[in-house]
Amino acid sequence: MRRADKGQGVYNVVVIGAGTAGLVAAAGTAGLGGRVALIEKHKMGGDCLNYGCVPSKALIRSSRVAALMHRADLFALDPVRPPIDYGRVARRVKALRARIEPHDSVERFEGLGVDVFLGHATLESAHTVRVGDTLLRARNIVLATGGRAAVPEVPGLEEAGYFTNETIFEREEAPGRLLVIGGGPIGCELAQAMARLGAQATVVDRGAQLLHREDPEVADLLRARMEAEGVRLILRGRVDSVVPGRGGPHRARVRQQGNGMASADSFEIDADTILVASGRCPNIEGLGLERAGVAFSPLGVTVNAFLQTSRPNIYAAGDICGPYRFTHFAEYQARIVVRNILLSPLLGLGRARADTRVVPWTTFTEPEVARVGLNENEARQAGVAFDVHRFSYSDLDRAILENEEAGFVKVIAAKGRGTILGATIIGAGAGELIHELALAMREGIGLPTLSSLMHVYPTLSQAVQRTGDAFMRTRLTGRARAVFARLYAWQRRGL
């Protein structure tokens, strides 16, 4: 319902952008009784609802069912390869997204007491925002405009036409021969999913491994699974040019750097569909940041630990400021912003700092890849003294029963102690298991406590407990073992 004073007077907070960060900031402000305006120029719900987490996970679910049907022989059942109607799958994705859309709708947020404005917002000053012909005055402003796909400059790519995560889920035609530019989380997830749904997928990435943030052994395990499922992976490669198809496939010229002293190899790939998944960039253009005195760079708006920009009354949250571009991190930042704007000044609470030390994430391939904190390479580069404790899925009863033996839990711990510095999980359910380790990191709970905590048998979560057990075994040195053996021998003498 439109309020009579909409756009008039002064707001406690004006939020620019109705993605995850903006919606959380607006709802939080309204819930605390603050007067808040929310401005969105495109679609409510932002990237996550419309182009990211929601549609991609719906597509991945269909692809996992198809893959499980193909692997039914592992469960003593006849494998099935049903004909894939990609258009039907795409329509299911859209239908599920439509079911979730009301959670982020204009009507819902107006019902919460938020004044919603649809249009392009620009900063006129540190306290004034223009949307269309309306000027909004605010004590505080929150920048939450999100990000978009970064598109490489490749001759012929624009003319050929390409998809990104922002457009691929609108397509109902089967991808056919699919060329994916980029082997990061989005590229790997969608390449595997679409291959399982009938596409002939090829991934080209400049790096020496998939998922450049992760340990090489993690990338190698994922690579083996994807290649086994028919995905062609071209690493140390780049797309130099694309010749647009004229009633036929596009032709991409790819250059692949050899290992060591080997020279580069150049070849062509035919593609019916090109998907660009080569990273993300922040939406900072056209906001009037210079006019308001807000510092920024190509990486996004510059913020301090309290998520304030160079203008202390203007905050930022989400992909516009990073450093992590995850939906859950955007929500986390928005909660901090609401506290620092509304609660800390009035209640005398200390301002909250954004903690980037404990940020879990998951890549929803099969096997799933999840991480929190440092991995081995990062710990080594930071000069941290550490030990590695691990447990393999192949030794876990539930994983054996589920035919999910490929994977492991690996914990980086302070050397000689059970303090968790980081953890990586690759395997079934990794995205669910990582939270126990994230909580342990944040609360200072060490591996001895995880070892002693009773876990239900048989569950995948026991892999975390068993990793704690692996640490406990390192505490029993050869000398201690010998001492115990003598004591036990002495106990037996009286019988």
| pLDDT value at residue 366 | 98
Checking if the pLDDT of 348 tops 80, the result is no
| pLDDT value at residue 261 | 54
Residue 320 to residues 75, 200, 234, 309: CA-CA distances in angstroms?
A: 46, 35, 31, 11
Find the mean pLDDT for residues 145-151: 95
Checking if the pLDDT of 4 tops 70, the result is no
The model's confidence at residue 149, banded by pLDDT at 50, 70 and 90, is very high
Nearest to 221 by CA among 19, 47, 366: 366
- Distance in angstroms (rounded) separating the CA atoms of residues 450 and 467: 8
Which range (243-247, 257-261, 451-455) has the least confidence? 257-261
Strand partners, 336: none
DSSP-derived secondary structure letter, 167? T
The DSSP H or E segment spanning 10 is strand 10-16
- Distance in angstroms (rounded) separating the CA atoms of residues 326 and 345: 28
Contact 39, 129 (CB under 8 A): yes
Domain map (residue ranges) of the chain: 10-44+105-149+281-347, 157-278, 361-478
The model's confidence at residue 462, banded by pLDDT at 50, 70 and 90, is very high
The DSSP H or E segment spanning 479 is helix 478-492
Checking if the pLDDT of 263 tops 70, the result is no
157-278: CATH topology is FAD/NAD(P)-binding domain (3.50.50)
| pLDDT value at residue 262 | 59
Token pair listed for 3: 């309020």
Q: Which CATH number fits domain 10-44+105-149+281-347: 1.20.1250.20, 3.30.1360.200, 3.40.50.2300, 3.50.50.60?
A: 3.50.50.60
Contact 312, 126 (CB under 8 A): no
Sheet (strand 420-427) strand order? 361-363, 368-373, 420-427, 408-414, 386-392
- Distance in angstroms (rounded) separating the CA atoms of residues 243 and 241: 7
Checking if the pLDDT of 189 tops 60, the result is yes
CATH number of 361-478: 3.30.390.30
Q: What is the mean pLDDT of the chain?
A: 95
Find the mean pLDDT for residues 65-72: 96
Which range (5-9, 238-242, 413-417) has the least confidence? 5-9
Residue 193 to residues 51, 65, 232, 280, 342: CA-CA distances in angstroms?
A: 15, 10, 13, 20, 43
Main-chain dihedrals φ then ψ at residue 289, nearest 5 degrees: -60, -40
- Distance in angstroms (rounded) separating the CA atoms of residues 136 and 133: 10
> What beta strand segments (E) does 29-105 contain?
36-40
Place of tokens 């599920």: 96
| pLDDT value at residue 477 | 76
pTM of the model: 0.93
The DSSP H or E segment spanning 138 is strand 134-143
- Distance in angstroms (rounded) separating the CA atoms of residues 41 and 206: 34
Find the mean pLDDT for residues 325-338: 97
Token pair listed for 1: 């319902």
Nearest to 23 by CA among 53, 43, 6, 51: 43
The reply to whether domains 10-44+105-149+281-347 and 157-278 share a CATH topology is: yes
